[in-house]
A and B are shown apart, each in its own frame.
Chain A
Amino acid sequence: MDSVLCGRGLVRRFGERAALDGVDFEVGRGEVVAVMGPSGSGKSTLLMCLAGIDVPDDGVVEFDGKGLSTMNERGRAELRLRRFGFVFQFGELVPELTLAENVSLPLWLTGTPRRRATALARRMLEELGILEHADHRTSEVSGGEAQRAAVARALVHRPEVVFADEPTGALDTANGELVLEAIVAAAASRDAAVVIVTHEPRVAAFAQREVTLRDGRLHEPASLLP
């Protein structure tokens, strides 16, 4: 599979400790990969580096063939805004806005006219089964509905890579599955690559493959052939 995003030899140190200690990682278009590992294993640090939010001390991250470290901060911010999507554990929606307005945000920020942005946002909310809450604020919907709105916001601008950090961590099992279904379906229908950071095997089972970080190093599953 052609990789759309890859990291090679990634090292990230915090003081004496290496959160990433030489990590190679890649994900292809339409592929869903879970990054597993216990707390403090470097999972979120890897996601931050791959997404260009953090900069590794050593190694390179390439998106669509271009090195992130060759871009300036402004260039990386553009990339995150236009071509990446993000889902975090606590949706991080803007409480003063309605769900539809929250989902429209990435489109407004990239200059999509308001009316068109609203139409796209509402379509996305419909796809996630929460169109009836389009005009509600986050305080008026359940945690599961808010998190589905966060997924809608991450996908509405048709990103090429979706980063999800413990996306179901705050949800019960049934709502967690709805959110995962939505993320995976988006990858399939839009050919987006998805990187899900999680410590939950149940979440990893939604991905096509999982890699495990332990002490800053990556372990690919060994062959399980009997």
Chain B
Amino acid sequence: MSVPLTILGLLEREPAHGYSLKHAYDKRFGQVRPLRFGQVYATLTRLERDGWVTLVSVDSGEGPDRKTYAITPDGVAALEEWIRAPEHTVPQAPSSLFVRVVLALLSGRPAADVLETQQQAHIARMREITTRRHAVDAVERLAGDFEIAHLEADLRWIELAGVRLDDLAREVR
């Protein structure tokens, strides 16, 4: 995910300063990885250099200055292009689960246990998200659905691998 373009998107709604941008970002997108303040200010400086945002006011009260930025027409164009372009699909690197299952097969360890333990952990995580679904707002719920869909993809693979395990074990050794 592009942090600069995400910040640009948040700025499009209304001019804002770094402090409020960090909080807006964390609320919507930062559940797993919140932004550091330093990252926000560095990003704003870079966006200003590229002409995508412009400084509109400096509020010097007590404490450090508060710089308010606004998005520029060039910034809107860049944001527009980013939002509309499809994500690139890239070959998926094998996950650690895949590697552990293969190593278990190669070494004669019980690969079925590896799959079963992972399946249980995945379902436990799904249950956690499912239980919280009424306590969160619509966007957070959508984020939960996104995670669940990815967990489901893993679980489909786990199921498939489980069915083929005996054949796999014969072939790899």
Residues in B15-43 with C-beta less than 8 Å from chain A: none
Q: Is the interface of B mostly helix, strand, loop or mixed?
A: helix
Residue B142 lies at the interface, judged by CB distance under 8 Å to chain A: no
B119 touches A201 (CB 8 A): yes
A202 touches B120 (CB 8 A): no
Number of A residues with CB within 8 Å of any CB on chain B: 13
B148 touches A221 (CB 8 A): no
Of chain A, the residue at the smallest CB distance from B163 is A38
Given contacts A210-B123, A221-B120, A222-B117, contact A201 B130 (CB under 8 A): no
B152 touches A201 (CB 8 A): yes
- A20–B21 Cα distance when bound, in Å, is 58
B126 touches A224 (CB 8 A): no
- A222–B129 Cα distance when bound, in Å, is 20
Distance from A55 Cβ to chain B, minimum over Cβ atoms (Å): 31
A224 touches B159 (CB 8 A): no
B163 touches A222 (CB 8 A): no
A224 touches B130 (CB 8 A): no
Over the window 132-167 of chain B, the binary record of Cβ atoms lying under 8 Å from chain A Cβ atoms (1 yes, 0 no) is 000000000000000010011001000100110000
B127 touches A205 (CB 8 A): yes
Q: Which one of A201, A219, A221 has the highest number of Cβ atoms from chain B below 10 Å of its Cβ?
A: A201
Distance from A202 Cβ to chain B, minimum over Cβ atoms (Å): 6
By a CB distance below 8 angstroms, the chain A residues around B155 are 201
A201 touches B126 (CB 8 A): yes
By a CB distance below 8 angstroms, the chain B residues around A38 are 159, 162-163
A202 touches B148 (CB 8 A): yes
Contact of A202 (CB < 8 Å), options: B116, B121, B152, B159: B152
A205 touches B120 (CB 8 A): no
Distance from A129 Cβ to chain B, minimum over Cβ atoms (Å): 15
The 8 closest A-B pairs by CB, nearest first: A205-B126, A221-B120, A205-B127, A205-B130, A201-B155, A201-B123, A204-B123, A202-B152
Chain A residues engaging chain B, CB cutoff 8 angstroms: 38, 201-202, 204-207, 210, 212, 219, 221-222, 224
Known: A204-B126, A205-B130, A222-B117; 12 extra A-B contacts, CB below 8 A, are: A201-B152, A202-B152, A204-B123, A204-B127, A205-B123, A205-B148, A207-B127, A219-B116, A222-B120, A224-B117, A224-B120, A224-B124
